[in-house]
Structure 1
């Protein structure tokens, strides 16, 4: 599925809105978000995305526009109004269908890259039958890349990852938009598993600094292991191109290459030299994520709890916030600390997910709590998975039957193992929350 919203950012000069083709809404003073949703009073514009090595236009980003000359003309105004009225999924669905109709009428070449922004609430909503056909045809004909904003990812990682997995199963590719706007997103990158990274325009708007170096480090490692494409956004001047290339970008977007328009034009044809990596898949998907590689070790429970405490401290002491998921079968952290300690853990993390029996859970700020039935097979294990851009850890420990405080455990520092375990725990938590 696809959505067409873009975070509003100040531009160096105003961009005149171009009224869409046939059926474009006329200016009106009576626009309401309810009327926009009900009567489909949206249009779409398309900003070019170019190959930096030859400046050929190889794709577009679709942007939603409300009725012109009204207070709801901008995406930000529509989103604000829809949020207030509880209509975000409905607005999202209408925006997708309007954009799909627009690109199909333009008859762009097959496989053209079409970038569209995504709201997880809309991606997870059911699509009405009368809108589904155009959406499906656009996905089948073009290479649709759904963008999930850095702020959306860090604001609710569990929802964002769940939505990305849902649309990926429908044949839509995934991008993270405005990546690098926040430090929290760095640890979450491999969990979202995007095919494309669209860099935040602030990275090109300032001289290189320590933050840009952290983003570069994270992006370079992810690009090396996945083959993901990198897009530099906000390119307005030629002197920004060397920095864009230095950050690993092969594609670019910005006013240097063109503003959004209702009738996009490919230049030099879709030359085929820019291709997305194979659909994202976590290494070892066919393996049981709870069975870690390596030797199974028997140890006193006190030693396992000390190892767990060390991992919990590691997650809160990293210079870059960590992503973590923890299984607490007895309603306590694996270290033995009470779940109330999650307040401290969450303050220093990009994402904290706790899976515990329902009776043990109380709301904790910034913590995703997944209440599982007390007899859930997952509670046969004590599990920790932690990830930062520079470190990773996975621990699965099981109480030995017939013994007093003795455990068997496997422990790994392998990033792929930790990512696989984290994604498994996120999927379990998402199933409980969004099923």
Structure 2
């Protein structure tokens, strides 16, 4: 639609944010699609949808479009519109749609009730599998929201991609918590492939991909030399101007496509484990009886592991007794400058020396509120301690170094931390879930 259709009646001295209601009313976003290829064959395996506003208007390019939506207070609606339009156009295209369509959305936007248009296309029959992209910042900002969305995507046969991996320690720290189907290497790694940080990032990513069955994708490939570097860093798929710039889906017609490109099957229960940390741990390991000095010693052991786990560690805890918090908080606060993410849930008041931590006040009731939990996850570390009062007045505890169990416990604590701290979770109706599933 021509730019004059959008600027008619609009004073150019006004903030372009005033145009956002018009964009929403006319559903006037026009996504472009960039190919993603198999680096061995250069056959197209996927496309990434990239949002655009009306051509020639002040809102044509995404930076201006989304900045205006933020100022207008309509970012969730615009973000959901962009996702819906990208999915609809790909669904209805006569040709040129590969087996996978990558979509970008802010978790804060998808954690709002969905518009009817987005719900309709999410639950419609489509010739492709949707892959939702997000960054490590999204998990750090809104852990419970993102875990809810990740679960919903998996419950509707979708997949997850973690973007910009290597740009920040958080991206590597959160890899084992989200376990995305696709890991997208940040483009700066291609520009400096021999740097120690690049080598370490690539080694960590490929080790995780081998264990979890994930696909490694390199972004920003502009030359054949970039493609060779991407393969050397462990990428099997690639994206960048060498293989095609963003354009309409029709521009891909006639290019070779791999119709059999596949990702790991969805795991609907991965991000929303049931029960409490202790109950889940006790199913896999026999619980033991101990006294407080034993628990204090084990706590010290886990905190020492956390101190040695390096910059990609995630450390989370929960305690029901303020006295435990007074003992923990100084040591957890000292870890906050060395680990990627440190958080704790406990009774009010949270002490002033906890300021560097992500903290939250525990709810007053619930089975999990009786448990003391400390868990550490790093590239080479997995450990959790779960404690609850025993029937005879003592303490029952479980210690586990089983990676899958420890990661599940961390996910439980992430949800408690975020839900208690910021109350981000609105009612579940309208999220990216099948009608029969409630996260």
- TM-score w.r.t. the length of structure 1 is 0.84
Q: In structure 1, how many angstroms separate the alpha carbons of the residues matched to 2:323 and 2:186?
A: 39
Q: Secondary structure at the match of 1:184?
A: helix
Cα distance 1:56–1:111, how it changes in 2: closer, same or farther (>3 A)? closer
Indicate whether 1:127 and 2:108 are aligned.
no
Cα distance 1:108–1:348, how it changes in 2: closer, same or farther (>3 A)? farther
Contact 1:46–1:264 (CA under 8 A) maintained in structure 2? no
Query: Deviation of residue 218 (structure 1)?
Result: 2.0
Query: Deviation of residue 380 (structure 1)?
Result: 2.6
Contact 1:395–1:411 (CA under 8 A) maintained in structure 2? yes
Gaps of 5+ in 1: 1-22
Indicate whether 1:314 and 2:305 are aligned.
yes
Residue deviations 1:48-96 (CA, integer Å, cap 9, x gap): 1111111111221000012233332221222222223322211111112
**Counterpart for residue 240 of structure 1:** 226
Cα distance 1:172–1:108, how it changes in 2: closer, same or farther (>3 A)? farther
**Counterpart for residue 86 of structure 2:** 99
Contact 1:293–1:412 (CA under 8 A) maintained in structure 2? no
Q: In structure 2, how many angstroms separate the alpha carbons of the residues matched to 1:337 and 1:85?
A: 46
**Counterpart for residue 151 of structure 1:** 137
1:167 is aligned, of 136, 153, 157, to: 153
Query: Deviation of residue 105 (structure 1)?
Result: 3.6
1:187 is aligned, of 170, 173, 183, to: 173
Query: Deviation of residue 355 (structure 1)?
Result: 2.5
Gaps of 5+ in 2: 11-15, 427-439
**Counterpart for residue 354 of structure 1:** 344
Query: Deviation of residue 331 (structure 1)?
Result: 2.7
Q: In structure 2, how many angstroms separate the alpha carbons of the residues matched to 1:309 and 1:293?
A: 23
Cα distance 1:96–1:26, how it changes in 2: closer, same or farther (>3 A)? farther
Contact 2:45–2:99 (CA under 8 A) maintained in structure 1? yes
Bigger shift: 266-275 or 179-188? 266-275
Q: Secondary structure at the match of 1:35?
A: helix
Indicate whether 1:90 and 2:90 are aligned.
no
Higher helix residue share = 2
2:380 is aligned, of 390, 413, 420, to: 390
Q: In structure 1, how many angstroms separate the alpha carbons of the residues matched to 2:136 and 2:22?
A: 30
Contact 2:165–2:185 (CA under 8 A) maintained in structure 1? yes
**Counterpart for residue 215 of structure 1:** 201
Query: Deviation of residue 235 (structure 1)?
Result: 0.5
Contact 2:319–2:373 (CA under 8 A) maintained in structure 1? yes
2:55 is aligned, of 43, 48, 68, to: 68
Contact 2:99–2:259 (CA under 8 A) maintained in structure 1? no
Q: In structure 2, how many angstroms separate the alpha carbons of the residues matched to 1:99 and 1:67?
A: 14
**Counterpart for residue 67 of structure 2:** 80
2:408 is aligned, of 402, 411, 420, to: 420
Cα distance 1:148–1:286, how it changes in 2: closer, same or farther (>3 A)? same
Query: Deviation of residue 125 (structure 1)?
Result: 1.8
1:378 is aligned, of 368, 375, 380, to: 368
Cα distance 1:220–1:332, how it changes in 2: closer, same or farther (>3 A)? farther
Q: Secondary structure at the match of 1:289?
A: helix
**Counterpart for residue 303 of structure 1:** 294
Indicate whether 1:330 and 2:321 are aligned.
yes
**Counterpart for residue 435 of structure 2:** none
Query: Deviation of residue 286 (structure 1)?
Result: 7.8
Q: Secondary structure at the match of 2:241?
A: coil
Query: Deviation of residue 316 (structure 1)?
Result: 4.0
Q: Secondary structure at the match of 1:394?
A: strand
2:21 is aligned, of 24, 34, 39, to: 34
Aligned residues: 408
Query: Deviation of residue 201 (structure 1)?
Result: 0.7
Q: Secondary structure at the match of 1:349?
A: coil
Query: Deviation of residue 128 (structure 1)?
Result: 2.4
Contact 2:307–2:338 (CA under 8 A) maintained in structure 1? yes
Q: Secondary structure at the match of 2:322?
A: coil
Q: In structure 2, how many angstroms separate the alpha carbons of the residues matched to 1:224 and 1:276?
A: 13
Contact 1:317–1:348 (CA under 8 A) maintained in structure 2? no
Q: In structure 2, how many angstroms separate the alpha carbons of the residues matched to 1:76 and 1:180?
A: 23
Structure number with the bigger relative contact order (C-alpha 8 A, sep ≥ 6) is: 2
Cα distance 1:177–1:400, how it changes in 2: closer, same or farther (>3 A)? same
Cα distance 1:300–1:117, how it changes in 2: closer, same or farther (>3 A)? same
Q: Secondary structure at the match of 1:146?
A: strand
Cα distance 1:297–1:24, how it changes in 2: closer, same or farther (>3 A)? farther
Query: Deviation of residue 384 (structure 1)?
Result: 1.0
Bigger shift: 30-39 or 91-100? 30-39
Q: What's the C-alpha RMSD, in Å, of the aligned pairs? A: 2.9
